[in-house]
Amino acid sequence: MGSYLPSTAGQKRQMLEAVGVSQIEALYDNVPASIRLDGLDLAPGLSEMEVSAQMCALADKNHVFHTIFRGAGAYDHYIPAIVERVCNKEEFLTAYTPYQAEISQGILQSIFEYQTMICELTGMDASNASVYDGASAAAEAVAMCRDRKRNRALVSAAAHPAVIQTIQTYCAGADAEVALIPTKDGRTDLDALRAMLCDTDACVYLQQPNFYGNLEDAEATGAAAHEAGAKFILGIHPIAAAILKSPRECGADIAVGEGQPLGMPLAFGGPYLGFMACTQALFRKLPGRIVGETVDAADERCFVLTLQAREQHIRREKASSNICSNQALCAMRAAVYLAAMGSQGLQKAAQLSYAKAHYLAEELEKIGFPRRYPGAFFQEFVTETPLPAEQILAKLEAHDILGGYPVEGGILWCTTEKNTKAQIDALVGLLKEVCA
């Protein structure tokens, strides 16, 4: 019964008459009779009240954990209230790609501001308007580096598994090769990388911090790649980037990452945000929408979609990417988030996440959960467990805590600025109890 149709039966009759057909079905004359439907095998429509009740019941079937110590690609960072408020504005929500610059300055300027912030975060020269998520950003970055001579991508096995899978899938599509760089002690094995690199390698992809939360020697990795004539792609965590060496400082040609921590809710995996930035030398190869500054007929500064000659609607089969719709509203969320945090705030979020992880690691060490890998880490780390991980995690779940993510040989714990000392102490107390 639900409907968003303004037309009344009477108006439809008037319109049919104006069109010159007697009934609405006649508009479908071109549809072969053999495939015209009698109706769909679906329940009848419902009223808004019923749909609301059904959908709320579905939401209620999920459990929202009170406390979260799990990251592994999706992070429970604090989302300032202003982010939701701004991005809920219907003007932003219900517009499409800003093709008509004259009535789209709001979106164009917000993307230009986003691009600037991503450049600042990464230290790069140019950013696009966003791609689907961090994993597809990594895959698109690999595609940017390939040419006829260099067709293989070397990807750190310590990157997020979904990122690796996505790069593999994209490369398989393009009949390009992917080789995994093995890990050693939870980090990319630099010696192995150096041994693998050859002159048909297009790029090296490294994630910093890596999937296990460990900090990599990104500069050395980049240097190795460049020595072999390959490009260096660095995948980063955008909040960690506030205090970690920037991709620029690490020598990256392309920086990519998952923008979810910048104000996007966990939302069962999406919508998230893929950000991509690169050096001046590469910007014409960036896929997706890009906003540029120009002036209007009155010589006032304004913004437009630009460099469209790269894109599919112009180049068609010669385009290097097919992306058009992206994650514009998520990019706006990120921009509002970064504007609200400012440099100090973002550094604080990073520093708090870091300090809390180190406090947790220390406390866990004391009760028999030693760290599995040595060396520096950021907000995530793997510990061994005195009992099977599943058993431990189930106990935590019963106390409304989503514990770390079970990985081979242990648990991958994560903290953000949201995890208070009280929460951490409670977690440790509970674990102690479980394992006693």
Partner 1 sequence: MNLLFEKSVPGRACTLLPDCDVPNAALPEQFARQQPLHLPELSETDISRHYTELSKRVHGVNDGFYPLGSCTMKYNPALNEEIAALPGFTGIHPLQPEYTAQGCMEVLAEAERILCAVTGMEAMTFQPAAGAHGEFTGLLLIKAYHRSRGDLQRTKILVPDSAHGTNPASATMTGFEVVNVPSSPDGCVDLDALRKAAGPDTAGLMLTNPNTLGLFDKNILEITRIVHEAGGLNYYDGANLNAVMGVARPGDMGFDVVHLNLHKTFSTPHGGGGPGSGAVGVKDLLVPFLPNRHVVEKDGHYTFEDAEQTIGSVKAFYGNFLVVVRALCYMKMLGGDGMRDAAQTAVLNANYLKKLLEPYCDAATPGLCMHEFVLTMEHLKKETGVSAMDVAKSMLDYGMHPPTMYFPLIVPEALMFEPTETESKETLDWAAQTIAEILERAHTDPESLHAAPTRTPIRRPDEVRAARTPKLRYSFDA
| Residue 172 in contact with partner 1, rule: CB under 8 A | yes
Spatial separation of the C-alpha atoms in residues 139 and 176, rounded to whole Å = 11
Among 22, 88, 165, 343, binds a second copy (CB under 8 A): 88
Q: How far is the CB of 422 from partner 1 (least distance, A)?
A: 8
Interface residues for a second copy in 253-292 (CB under 8 A)? none
| 102-110, 185-193, 197-205, 364-372 -> range binding partner 1 (CB under 8 A) | 102-110
Using left for φ > 0, alpha for ψ between -120 and 50, and beta otherwise, residue 39 falls in left
x-or-dash string of contact with a second copy, 358-397, rule CB under 8 A: ----------------------------------------
CA distances from 372 to 110, 174, 186, 408 (A): 43, 37, 8, 10
Distances (CA, A) of 83 to 120, 232, 242, 265: 20, 33, 19, 11
- Per-residue b/e over 107-129, b at no fewer than 16 CB within 10 Å? bbbbbbbbbebbbbbbbbebbbb
Closest CB 17 distance from a second copy, rounded Å: 26
Enumerate residues 304-363 that contact partner 1 by CB under 8 A: 304, 306-309, 311-330, 332, 335-336, 338-349, 351-352, 354-356, 358-359
Give the one entry of partner 1, a second copy, none that residue 433 binds, where binding means its C-beta sits below a cut-off of 5 to 8 angstroms depending on kind.
Answer: none
Among residues 195 and 394, whose Cβ is nearest to partner 1? Answer: 394
- Contacts with partner 1 in 414-433 (CB under 8 A)? 417, 420-421, 424
Going by C-alpha positions, the residue among 159, 330, 345 that lies closest to residue 239 is: 345
| Beta strand 187-188 pairing with 183-184 | antiparallel
Residue 3 CB, nearest distance to a second copy (Å)? 13
SS3 state of residue 5: coil
- List of long-range contacts for 280-286, beta carbons under 8 Å, 24+ apart: 280/125, 280/126, 281/253, 282/126, 282/144, 282/231, 282/253, 282/254, 283/125, 283/126, 283/307, 284/310, 285/144, 285/310, 285/320, 286/126, 286/127, 286/128, 286/144, 286/310
Maximum CA pair distance of the chain?
Answer: 83
379 binds, among a second copy, partner 1, none (CB under 5 to 8 A by kind): none
**What's the min distance (Å) between Cβ of 39 and partner 1?**
6
Sign of CA dihedral 206, 211, 212, 215: positive
Footprint of partner 1 on residues 287-306 (CB under 8 A)?
A: 289-298, 300, 302-304, 306
Among 185, 198, 269, 366, binds partner 1 (CB under 8 A): 269
Among a second copy, partner 1, none, the one that 74 touches (CB under a kind-dependent 5 to 8 A) is partner 1
Site size toward a second copy (CB under 8 A) is 13
Q: Which positions from 66 through 85 interact with a second copy, judged by CB under 8 A?
A: 78, 80-81, 85
Identity of the residue, 77 or 231, whose beta carbon is nearer to partner 1 in the bound complex: 77
Q: Using CB under 8 A as the criterion, what x/- string covers residues 30-59 for binding a second copy?
A: ------------------xx--xx------
State the residues that interact with a second copy by CB under 8 A. Answer: 48-49, 52-53, 78, 80-81, 85, 88-90, 417-418
